[in-house]
Chain A
């Protein structure tokens, strides 16, 4: 982990596509007046015949990608997560997932990355929406290195996927790019509580664990980039050890990582679970860090909420 150097995941996603497209001629990118936010201007300049601009038309971008995939291409659709998870949802459900078209959707500026631009621009429902569709993977990388590895992994995984990344530079959680589907990564071990996080709040969770450790609470922290399919084994094993689980996500408390984990533990090993995320309201106006802090999704807030949760469920310890 590296606090000082920061990088926005979108730049590494774009770099991965550049690196791979040189060798794999089937790779095509599709975007909707979003080449700047998706950081793929260079791809447009380097591979103009494999860069398709559709204008501000997210639904058609996904439909076109499905058509490309059905004719042997490996399309990556890149654009704001808010629009691809809402406006283009039916195209993702029918044309991509139901048909089984090998389309990868890269939702950029997800969660509350767009901060004060408001709820039209937030994607806090995307995991819930895509989790509810069969036949599409849902992945939230936690840093730029992992984001690079996700793209590399998905290129040869012949099925639909939705990947959500943020907009702003974030610290590195990993020194190297690596990623496997359906695998949780244990970033630190402790017996008092298991924390499972995904996406770009993993960094905050890591810092929260340091705060908790100073308070005498040792947490296991699992980075769970692959929400569907998910690593059931690691979740159950860790819950058995700690007996109490907290999940953290930059997403609505409904339908995301927390409920995915709850469903697995409810069935296999019921323990108290606290789901930290954005509550059931349209978020307060503010920059990303202000909004996260307001909803206890920064290091201090997470540490506070974990302590409160542990106090509630401390019996027998």
Chain B
């Protein structure tokens, strides 16, 4: 599929942008930004109804970045789509910039200010209810971290979403199995995640969170079950794409030094070449 090929390359390019932003700013959340790249790319380039020229399009699909610390890949995608100039990314986290280190509505395309975990799903519930009230056709996508699910507020919102039968609401969990202090199952056991969400009244689907084709097909096939909110458990690798960052808890908010940036870029350029050769 032609689109998948293009988007696979896009994901690698976004990863390069992410690392450059974090390197320049000397601040950022590397691991979680890299783990959700394919999720963002699939939604923003392949699924959601949005218009970069008209960020406030009334019937646009809504996206809530509940794991706000993964702001770098979010900004990179929005910039690449043309919501704002790519060159602005250079000002990320710099003095006076509108590109703050967590998403804010000063940034075209961002729907709500996030950064404190556990807020996004409730906001998404509100948006999904509004869509129903207006008999509108837009859907609401909320991206959460797996560690984020420790927050009780997530489960309050989950229960409310099911109560209102919000089949236009899609929760996505970036299931990279790490939070700041380490393995999610050691810091605070999450499993059995599927059973929990199912018990809360959600329709649960597992996907490979780095498989763009699978992600797009899954999203496009929603809702599978009318009258139920849907939860996509996207199995991912924290730090995906750079071998020494992958699955390493220290890279949650570590910033690459000169040498690390060079090595990471080399690896990503290799990947691009590989993808080109496949064509």
Chain A residues in 8 Å Cβ range of B27:
115-117
Partner of B188, one of A53, A119, A284, A287: A53
- In the bound complex, do residue A118 and residue B148 qualify as a contact, i.e. CB atoms below 8 Å apart? no
Q: Does A266 contact B (CB under 8 A)?
A: no
Q: Are A36 and B180 in contact (CB under 8 A)?
A: yes
Listed stretches B9-17, B108-116, B214-222; interface member: B108-116
Q: Does A99 contact B (CB under 8 A)?
A: no
Do B187 and A55 touch across chains, with their CB atoms under 8 A apart?
A: yes
In Å, the complex CA distance between A34 and B152 comes to 17
Main secondary structure of the interface of A (DSSP, over half): loop
Query: Complex: how many Å from CA A116 to CA B27?
Result: 8
Interface presence of B159 (CB below 8 A): no
Let me know if B151 is at the binding interface, CB within 8 A.
yes
Question: Nearest A residue to B148 by beta-carbon distance?
Answer: A56
Q: How far is the CA of A93 from the CA of B216 in the complex (A)?
A: 46
- Contact assessment for A56 and B98 in the assembled complex, using a CB-CB cutoff below 8 Å: no
**B: contact size bracket:** 20 to 34
Chain B positions 91 through 102: 1 when the CB is less than 8 Å from some CB of chain A, otherwise 0: 001111111111
Which residues of B have CB within 8 Å of A83?
A: 116
Say if the beta carbon of B179 comes within 8 Å of chain A. yes
Q: List residues of chain A with CB within 8 A of the CB of B224.
A: none
Is A290 positioned at the interface, with any CB of B under 8 Å from its CB?
yes
Smallest Cβ distance from B203 to chain A, in angstroms? 25
User: Residue B117 at the A interface, CB < 8 A?
Assistant: yes
Closest Cβ of chain B to A312, distance in Å, is 29
Q: Evaluate whether A56 and B102 lie within 8 angstroms (CB atoms) in the complex, with A120-B68, A120-B114 already known.
A: no
Flag if A120 contacts B150 (CB, 8 Å): no
Please determine whether B95 and A56 come into contact, CB atoms closer than 8 angstroms: no
CB-defined contacts of B187 to chain A, threshold 8 Å: 33, 53, 55
In the complex, chain B residues 138-189 whose Cβ is within 8 Å of any chain A Cβ: 147-148, 150-152, 179-181, 187-188
Interface residues on A, range: 20 to 34
Q: List chain B residues, Cβ under 8 A from A307.
A: none
If A35-B181, A53-B188 touch, whether A285 touches B98 (CB-CB below 8 Å) is yes
Which of B96, B115, B117 is the one whose CB lies under 8 Å from A284?
B96
A87 and B180 within 8 A (CB): no
Q: In the complex the two chains form, is B179's CB within 8 Å of A117's CB? A: no
B98 and A120 within 8 A (CB): no
Q: Known contacts A285-B97, A286-B96: does B150 contact A121 (CB below 8 Å)?
A: no
Closest to A82 in B: B116
Say yes or no: is A86 at the interface (Cβ < 8 Å to chain B): yes
**A223 to B25 alpha-carbon distance, docked (Å):** 34
Q: Which residues of A contact B96 (CB under 8 A)?
A: 284-286
Question: How many whole Å from B141's CB to the nearest CB in chain A?
Answer: 20
Question: Least Cβ distance of A238 to chain B in Å?
Answer: 36
CA distance A60 to B68 in the complex (A): 22
The B69-95 residues at the A interface (CB cut-off 8 A) are 93-95
Q: Mark A87-116, 1 if CB is under 8 A from B, else 0.
A: 100000000000000000000000000111
Is A54 interfacial (CB 8 A cutoff)?
Answer: yes
- Residues on A with C-beta less than 8 A from B104 are 118
Whether B181 lies near A120 (C-beta < 8 A) is no
Q: Is the CB of A116 within 8 A of B93?
A: yes
List B194-245 residues whose CB lies under 8 Å from chain A.
none
A57 located at the interface, meaning its Cβ lies under 8 Å from any Cβ of chain B in the complex:
yes
In this assembly, does A146 line the interface, its C-beta being within 8 Å of a C-beta of chain B? Answer: no
Given the known interface contacts A53-B187, A284-B95, the answer about A116 and B179 at a Cβ–Cβ threshold of 8 Å is: no
A35 to B181, CA, bound (A): 7
Q: CB distance A285 to B93 under 8 Å?
A: yes
A23–B96 Cα gap in the complex (Å)? 49
Residue of B nearest to A286 (CB): B95
A60 touches B152 (CB 8 A): yes
Inter-chain CA distance A86–B187, complex, in Å, is 23
Q: Does B118 contact A (CB under 8 A)?
A: yes
Contact A56/B152 with A116-B100, A285-B94 known, Cβ cut-off 8 Å: no
- Using CB atoms, name the residue of chain A closest to B184: A55
* CB of A220 within 8 Å of the partner chain: no
- In the bound complex, CA of A215 to CA of B99 (Å): 40
Contact between B116 and A117, CB atoms less than 8 A apart: no
Query: Which of A32, A36, A118, A284: most chain B CB closer than 10 A?
Result: A118
Chosen A-B contacts, 10 in total, with CB atoms closer than 8 Å, are: A55-B147, A55-B179, A56-B179, A82-B116, A86-B116, A120-B113, A285-B93, A285-B95, A285-B97, A285-B98
Binding site for A on B (CB under 8 A): 25, 27, 68, 93-102, 104, 113-118, 147-148, 150-152, 179-181, 187-188
